[in-house]
Amino acid sequence: MATRKRTVGSLATELLAKSREAALSAVRVFNDPHVSFKSETFIVLMVIAWTYLLHAHYRRRRVEFRYFTQAGKRRRFDRTKSGAFKYWELERCLNDKASPVDKDTANNLRFLIGLRHEIEHQMTRSLDSYMSGRYQACALNFNEYVIKLFGKRYGLDAYLTYSIQFLELTQEQFAGPTPQADVPERLRAYIAQFDAGLDHDAYNSPKYSYRLLFKRKLVNRPGQADKVVEFIDPKSEAAKAIDKEYWVHKEVERAKFKPSHVVEHVRAAGFKRFRVQPEHVEMWKAEDAKNPAKGFGVEVEGVWYWYESWIKRCIELCHEAGARYR
């Protein structure tokens, strides 16, 4: 008996259902206290979820999302060794001109795709908390686009609740130490290089990384709200009171300097014999300062830029060298 050919609408609905299932599985695994392979599993499942979501969108819009080559007026579809069609991966979906995804959400997804490539053969437990802001943004963005593209009834709001913690949030969790020291060097290098390629607004977008400031509130009157997390209007009196009690340092894009600018700053500090060649070159080679994991600089579109931390390090080394650079 011949099988009935699936319609555009039925396939899109099936893809959407699989997409939502993958996203819920990703969040469920990440919130499971018994799972230690959180980051790896979350990223893989969310990449699948977003891929199916965009496939569903393209299917409904009748955008061809299978790879093919044009042979005259005919399309020759690419196939796997077993004969199956080759469908677009997530990055190809994002790159298409028909993609409905905004720039900041796409930045978040491209970051996670690259992170997946870096960690697919290595477990790194420290990433679970270190990258949690980007995972949270990915989940919130997904729910937003499910509703935007297919309607509110497909949203996942009803399935998602706050994850109860066994440990009280402490000052150390906000101020440090951070788990960065436990992140392998090559992963720190990838994170630093990706972030450095974003401008100020893109880096600080909540769609790229979702960051929250918490204030502890002890309810002291019956009938008051007793939520772990409560959102307030930033223009309200309560928000103004928080602003008076806390100073929040907003992360900004780090300033970048060319070698000539580094030399200018070092010479201004009193080391007149310090030049780009050979002094500066010899110094960064001796310090292995272009190793991205050291955080002294970053390569952007094939050009290396130095951070202010490297200028300070150069001045320290000049002081240690005595009269050599004066």
Return the structure tokens found at 132: 């949690």
Report the percent of the chain where pLDDT is more than 70: 76
pLDDT digits (tens, 9 = 90+) for 110-125: 999 999 988 876 666 6
What rounded mean pLDDT belongs to the chain?
81
In the chain, the largest separation of any two C-alpha atoms, in whole Å, equals: 91
Question: Quick one: CA dihedral 164, 136, 216, 218, positive or negative?
Answer: negative
Residue range 136-161: mean pLDDT, rounded: 89
**Confidence band for 195, pLDDT divided at 50, 70 and 90:** confident
**Cα–Cα dist 56/12, whole Å:** 4
pLDDT digits (tens, 9 = 90+) for 66-109: 999 988 889 999 999 999 999 999 999 999 999 999 999 999 99
Q: What pLDDT is attached to residue 243?
A: 56
Q: How many CB atoms lie within 10 A of CB 134?
A: 21
Amino acid at 14: E
Q: What pLDDT is attached to residue 250?
A: 43
More confident residue, 237 or 61: 61
Q: What pLDDT is attached to residue 248?
A: 43
Q: What pLDDT is attached to residue 238?
A: 66
Residue range 4-21: mean pLDDT, rounded: 83
Q: Which of 136-140, 149-153, 234-238 has the lowest mean pLDDT?
A: 234-238
Taking a C-beta distance cutoff of 8 angstroms, is the pair 91, 110 a contact?
Answer: yes
Give the total residue count for the chain.
326
Taking a C-beta distance cutoff of 8 angstroms, is the pair 111, 137 a contact?
Answer: no
